[in-house]
């Protein structure tokens, strides 16, 4: 029932008492975590009432309504004042939205563990969680239906300072020379070169600034590729 992407996310969740899956949609993830004894109980939350209904139907079909509570609302605002899940999972959202979700309740910077799989702006997510007092414990990548996905697990704690390259591409992915990381950077590098070639024919102060920033990113990408 779990896609390979969701299985990668589930594999990053350590055994715990209480997990919150924010943006759960179909609730496949908490159903898997409870069924496999990885979590004792779960909140499956979503802002969409349609998704909450879908989640509830799937949870009932699995006979897990005593273990998984569906809550409809924005981000972590569905948690009560002093509720702090052992693990918060946010998967399948954009990075900036995931950051907003983490900021939406104090438990977004207090929960002992975070497992995050975001579709873009992953650098901003790494920066946000590290500045909120988390230490990245592991990262993983996979390809599903031709798309590359990255998942991050983090625990409360401090790490040695990250370099810009590590924020962009992940300390563990760089260290382990993750095979899909090269593919990801090469793809992103081509995108930047395409934009730069379009901007070449254009003038203006904003264009110049954009070009300088893209050139800087392109140098960092090349640097990362040399490490792999």
Ligand X SMILES: C[S@@+](CC[C@H](N)C(=O)[O-])C[C@H]1O[C@@H](n2cnc3c(N)ncnc32)[C@H](O)[C@@H]1O
DSSP codes, 61-73: HTT-TTTEEEEES
Range in contact with ligand X (rule: CB under 6 A) among 23-31, 62-70, 149-157, 180-188: 23-31
Q: Residue 185 corresponds to which tokens in the numbers above?
A: 């950077």
Helix (H, G, I), strand (E, B) or coil at 200: coil
- Cβ nearer to ligand X, comparing 143 with 210: 143
Range in contact with ligand X (rule: CB under 6 A) among 20-28, 138-146, 189-197, 213-221: 20-28
Closest CA to 10 of 65, 76, 67, 87: 87
Q: Residue 175 corresponds to which tokens in the numbers above?
A: 């260290």
Question: Is residue 72 a contact point for ligand X (CB under 6 A)?
Answer: no
Helix (H, G, I), strand (E, B) or coil at 45: strand
With tokens 């079909």, the residue in question is 61
Helix (H, G, I), strand (E, B) or coil at 74: coil
The answer to whether 139 touches 170, Cβ cutoff 8 Å, is yes
- Cβ nearer to ligand X, comparing 16 with 78: 78
- Cβ nearer to ligand X, comparing 73 with 225: 73
Rounded CA-CA distance 31/36 in Å is 8
Question: Is residue 24 a contact point for ligand X (CB under 6 A)?
Answer: yes
- Start-to-end C-alpha separation, the chain: 34
Question: Is residue 56 a contact point for ligand X (CB under 6 A)?
Answer: no
Minimum gap (Å) between residue 140 Cβ and ligand X: 14
Question: Is residue 47 a contact point for ligand X (CB under 6 A)?
Answer: yes
Minimum gap (Å) between residue 46 Cβ and ligand X: 5
Minimum gap (Å) between residue 224 Cβ and ligand X: 26
- Bridging pattern class, strands 147-156 and 87-93: unpaired
Question: Is residue 153 a contact point for ligand X (CB under 6 A)?
Answer: no
Question: Is residue 23 a contact point for ligand X (CB under 6 A)?
Answer: yes
Question: Is residue 96 a contact point for ligand X (CB under 6 A)?
Answer: no
Minimum gap (Å) between residue 100 Cβ and ligand X: 7
DSSP codes, 84-101: --SEEEEEEE-HHHHHHH
Minimum gap (Å) between residue 36 Cβ and ligand X: 17
Minimum gap (Å) between residue 145 Cβ and ligand X: 13
Question: Is residue 2 a contact point for ligand X (CB under 6 A)?
Answer: no
**Residues binding ligand X (CB under 6 A):** 6, 22-25, 45-48, 51, 74-75, 91-93, 97, 101
């Amino acid at each position: 029932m779990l896609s390979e992407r969701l299985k990668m996310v589930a594999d990053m969740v350590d055994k715990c008492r209480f997990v919150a899956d924010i943006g759960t949609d179909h609730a496949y993830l908490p159903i898997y975590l409870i069924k496999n004894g990885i979590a004792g109980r779960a909140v499956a939350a979503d802002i969409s009432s349609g998704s909450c209904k879908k989640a509830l139907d799937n949870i009932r079909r699995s006979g897990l309504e005593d273990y998984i509570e569906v809550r409809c609302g924005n981000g972590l605002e569905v948690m009560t004042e002093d509720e702090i899940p052992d693990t918060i999972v946010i998967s399948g959202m954009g990075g900036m939205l995931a950051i907003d979700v983490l900021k939406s309740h104090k438990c977004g910077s207090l929960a002992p563990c975070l497992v995050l799989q975001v579709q873009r702006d992953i650098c901003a997510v790494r920066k946000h969680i590290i500045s909120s007092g988390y230490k990245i414990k592991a990262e993983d990548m996979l390809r599903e239906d031709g798309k590359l996905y990255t998942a991050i697990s983090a625990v409360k704690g401090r790490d040695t300072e990250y370099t810009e390259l590590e924020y962009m591409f992940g300390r563990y992915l760089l260290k382990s020379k993750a095979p899909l990381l090269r593919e990801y950077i090469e793809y992103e590098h081509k995108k930047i070169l395409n934009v730069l070639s379009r901007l070449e024919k254009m003038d203006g102060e904003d264009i110049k600034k954009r070009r300088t920033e893209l050139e800087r990113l392109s140098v960092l990408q090349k640097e990362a590729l040399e490490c792999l």
